[in-house]
C-alpha cells in the first residue's frame, strides 16, 4: 500500500515552454502533498506544500508564478513549470501524506521526474 | 529551528560488516524522527520512524535505529550490510507539518 506515482518520469523541453508533472496517490487519500527539488547528490529542498482544494504554500525563495501547483483532488496534485529555463533542470519529487490514522506523520514519495530544459 | 545533521557525506563498509549511519537532531519538544533511503534516480523509500515508545526502532530491510535522547542522536544501523544497501540515506525530523531532511549520507558497500 501507500504508493505514489509521478508522470512523466523524464521530460526534455525547450527553453521558454511549460511542463506539467503529475503526482498521484494510488491507494490512499492524501489531504496534503509536497513538492521537492533535488540537485545531484544533494538533499531534498521543499518547494511547496499543497492541501486539497486550497492554494499551495510556497517556501521562501520559490517563485509561485513559475512553479504552479494545483491540488485538485485527494489523489492528484500537479506541478507546472512555466517558461522553463535551463536552470530549472532538476529532479522533482512529490510526496503525499495520508489523510488520517496513526501514520499521520509519514510521507510517501513518488519516484521522481527528471526535467531537462535545453 | 528544528533540524537534523548527518555528519558523514559517505560511509564505506564491506559486505557482511555492521553498518551505521549517523544522525543528530536539534528540536524543541519531542522529536518525530525518520529514516529514508534513495536509490539512483528514484524517490525516497521509508525505512523507519520514531514517534514515541521504545528507543530501539526496527524497520524495513533489516534496518533499525536507536533513539538516544541524552545524545540527541538517531543513528541508523544494520548488523550485516549487503551490496544492495548501497544508496543515499536521509535522516529527517517532522517539524511544523513538514519533513526537514539532513544532507544525506552515501553508503557504499563493497563485496
Per-residue confidence band for B103, with pLDDT thresholds at 50, 70 and 90: very high
Counted across chains A and B, CB pairs separated by less than 8 A come out at: 51
pLDDT tens track for A78-110: 999 999 999 999 999 999 987 655 556 678 999
The three cell numbers locating residue B10? 559517505
Partners of B75 in the beta sheet? B66
Buried b (16+ CB within 10 A) or exposed e, B90-99: bbbbbbeebb
Nearest to A106 among B46, B101, B104 (CB): B46
* ∠ CA B105-B35-B9, rounded to 5°: 10
Query: pLDDT of B88-102, one tens digit each?
Result: 999 999 888 788 899
Q: CB-based contact (8 Å) between B40 and chain A? A: no
Over residues B22-75, the pLDDT tens digits come to 999 998 888 899 999 999 878 889 999 998 888 999 999 999 999 999 999 999
Say if strands B10-14 and B105-110 run parallel, antiparallel, or are unpaired. Answer: parallel
Residues of chain B with C-beta less than 8 angstroms from the C-beta of A6: 43
Any B CB within 8 A of A67 CB: no
Nearest to B61 by CA among B48, B42, B51, B43: B48
pLDDT at B77 (0 to 100): 98
What would the mean pLDDT of A10-16 be, rounded to a whole number?
96
Look up residue A101 and give its DSSP letter. S
Q: Which of B92, B63, B98, B58 is nearest to B77 (CA)?
A: B63
Amino acid at each position: 500500500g501507500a504508493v505514489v506515482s509521478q508522470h512523466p518520469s523524464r521530460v526534455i523541453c525547450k527553453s521558454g515552454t511549460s511542463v506539467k508533472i503529475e503526482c498521484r496517490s494510488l491507494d490512499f487519500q492524501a489531504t496534503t502533498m509536497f513538492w521537492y527539488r533535488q540537485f545531484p547528490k544533494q538533499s531534498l529542498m521543499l518547494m511547496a506544500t499543497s492541501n486539497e482544494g486550497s492554494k499551495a504554500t510556497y517556501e521562501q525563495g520559490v517563485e509561485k508564478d513559475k512553479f504552479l501547483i494545483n491540488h485538485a483532488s485527494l489523489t492528484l496534485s500537479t506541478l507546472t513549470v512555466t517558461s522553463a529555463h535551463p536552470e530549472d533542470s532538476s529532479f522533482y519529487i512529490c510526496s503525499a501524506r495520508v489523510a488520517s490514522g496513526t501514520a499521520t506523520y509519514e510521507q510517501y514519495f513518488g519516484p521522481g521526474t527528471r526535467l531537462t530544459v535545453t | 529551528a528544528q533540524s537534523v545533521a548527518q555528519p558523514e557525506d559517505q560511509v564505506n563498509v564491506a559486505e557482511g560488516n555492521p553498518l551505521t549511519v549517523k544522525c543528530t537532531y536539534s528540536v524543541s519538544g519531542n522529536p518525530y524522527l525518520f529514516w529514508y533511503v534513495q536509490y539512483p534516480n528514484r524517490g525516497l523509500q521509508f525505512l523507519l520512524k520514531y514517534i514515541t515508545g521504545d528507543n530501539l526502532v526496527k524497520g524495513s530491510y533489516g534496518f533499525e535505529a536507536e533513539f538516544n535522547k541524552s545524545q540527541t542522536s538517531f543513528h541508523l544501523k544494520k548488523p550485516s550490510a549487503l551490496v544492495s544497501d548501497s544508496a543515499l540515506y536521509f535522516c529527517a525530523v517532522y517539524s511544523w507539518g513538514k519533513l526537514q531532511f539532513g544532507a544525506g549520507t552515501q553508503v557504499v558497500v563493497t563485496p
